[in-house]
Amino acid sequence: MRSTLATLLMALSATTLAAPDGAANGYPDRPIRMLLPFSAGGGGDILGRFLAERLSARLHQPVVVENKPGAAGTIGTHAVATSAPDGYTIMIGGMSTHQLAPATYARLPYDPVRDFQSLGAIGSSSIVMVASNSYPANTLTEAIALARRQGTPIQYASWGAGSTGHFCGEVLRQKTGIAMQHVPYKGTSQIITDILGNHIAVGFVDMVTATPFVKDGKVKALAVCTRRSPSLPQVPSYKEQGVDFDRELNWAAYVPARTPKPIVDKLSAALEATLKEPEVVNKLLSLGISARYQSGAEQQATNVRDIPMWKEIARQANISLD
């Protein structure tokens, strides 16, 4: 009896230990949920839905998109962090969810490093500093000189306190010492509308919003925060105009921590292969994203490196969303 019981316990133990790899062998065998912590219709939503479609073809299972916006993306991101680590919940995240949120929320309900495993970086994007055509500066260098000469703050718009645009403005203020006054808006389309109407002169908007207006000559682009973008290759970066700041603003894919490595590897390989497709590269470029896969380990290391930097910028600017 004891021998039989011992044998049975050993068999059960071996089965349990082997379960993650065994599950991965048949993975995926049902639809995968892609949770997007962004509102429908925005750049992150468009990106996620496009990638979901391409990943469905590679994984031979539907990748079903679910939007869960709110609290600067932290509500949906927290939902992913607490999901089962079985590979059937993935997310697209960005600067706001995994680097800026821990800088602006003292009581963030998730740890952006400990609670996630990155599948890899999708690509980098930039934020555009735009101005009305009546604004007396045509470049960031000229805008800085103008602010110093006039001695009045540059009023600039972003799509909300703690947004990437807000941080781009604060980086500029802290690196140059010029006076700047933040004016939060609810969205980038409202910023463009008010710049066109000369209600505010300067604003930070995403590449998707800015590109058509810049190309049509309706607004002018002073700089990109932080790196020059192939979507607007003529617009110089912060660093090229004397502002000592250079960081990639990455989009990335994540799954909950403790997802079995074979599943992570399979998803990562599918993502990497998808990002090499010419149609995908062109589509992302239309969204202002330079498609460039980086491994999950590299993306995790970037988060670990950059979160303290953004926290210090937020501290100096007194940016807090709690």
Residues 133 and 229 in one domain: yes
Query: What are the φ/ψ torsions at residue 129 (nearest 5 degrees)?
Result: -90, 110
Pairing, β 32-36 against β 180-184:
unpaired
Does 6 map to a domain? no
Buried b (16+ CB within 10 A) or exposed e, 127-152: bbbbbbeebebebbbebbeebeeeee
Question: What's the pLDDT score for residue 2?
Answer: 41
| Share of residues in the chain with pLDDT > 90 (%) | 80
- In the three-class reduction of DSSP (H, G, I as helix; E, B as strand; rest coil), residue 229 is classed as coil
Residues 117 and 74 in one domain: yes
Distance CA 135, CA 294 (A): 39
Question: What's the pLDDT score for residue 305?
Answer: 95
Find the domain containing 302 and state its range. Answer: 11-124+249-317
For the segment 56-75, the average pLDDT, to the nearest whole number, is 94
Residues 87 and 39 in one domain: yes
Does 284 map to a domain? yes
Domain boundary among 209, 236, 263: 236
Domain boundary among 175, 210, 236: 236
Are residues 174 and 208 in contact, defined by beta-carbon separation less than 8 angstroms? no
Quick one: pLDDT band at residue 4, thresholds 50, 70, 90? very low
Residues 95 and 164 in one domain: no
For residue 23, pLDDT beyond 80: no
Question: What's the pLDDT score for residue 6?
Answer: 42
Residues 167 and 312 in one domain: no
Residues 87 and 20 in one domain: yes
Question: What's the pLDDT score for residue 153?
Answer: 94
Residues 147 and 221 in one domain: yes
CATH label of the domain that carries residue 135: 3.40.190.10
Minimum mean pLDDT range among 19-28, 180-189, 235-244, 283-292: 19-28
Residues 120 and 187 in one domain: no
DSSP for 170-196, please give it: HHHHHHH---EEEEE-S-HHHHHHHHH
For the segment 230-244, the average pLDDT, to the nearest whole number, is 94
**269 or 13, which is more confident?**
269
Does 266 map to a domain? yes
Minimum mean pLDDT range among 7-21, 130-144, 178-192, 227-241: 7-21
For residue 74, pLDDT beyond 80: yes
Distance CA 43, CA 225 (A): 17
Distance CA 176, CA 189 (A): 28
Residue 294 token pair: 């980086």
| Share of residues in the chain with pLDDT > 70 (%) | 93
Residues 171 and 185 in one domain: yes
For the segment 67-77, the average pLDDT, to the nearest whole number, is 92
For residue 218, pLDDT beyond 80: yes
Quick one: pLDDT band at residue 17, thresholds 50, 70, 90? very low
Domain count, the chain: 2
Does 244 map to a domain? no
Does 211 map to a domain? yes
Does 219 map to a domain? yes
Question: What's the pLDDT score for residue 19?
Answer: 44
Per-chain mean pLDDT for the chain: 91
Question: What's the pLDDT score for residue 29?
Answer: 97
Query: At a CB cut-off of 8 Å and minimum separation 6, what does 229 contact?
Result: 125, 126, 207, 235, 288, 290
Question: What's the pLDDT score for residue 79?
Answer: 98
CATH label of the domain that carries residue 274: 3.40.190.150
Minimum mean pLDDT range among 6-20, 26-40, 153-167, 259-273: 6-20
Which residue is listed with tokens 């049975």?
8
Taking only Cα atoms into account, the Rg of the chain, rounded to an integer number of angstroms, comes to: 22
Question: What's the pLDDT score for residue 167?
Answer: 96
Pairing, β 127-131 against β 116-125:
unpaired
Residues 57 and 131 in one domain: no
Residue 148 token pair: 């110093």
Are residues 48 and 284 in contact, defined by beta-carbon separation less than 8 angstroms? no
Distance CA 27, CA 268 (A): 13
Residues 134 and 113 in one domain: no
Does 322 map to a domain? no
Domain boundary among 214, 236, 258: 236
Distance CA 286, CA 40 (A): 18
Residues 106 and 136 in one domain: no
Which residue is listed with tokens 């916006």?
69
Does 5 map to a domain? no
Output the CA torsion 99→82→89→311 (10° steps): 0
Question: What's the pLDDT score for residue 248?
Answer: 85
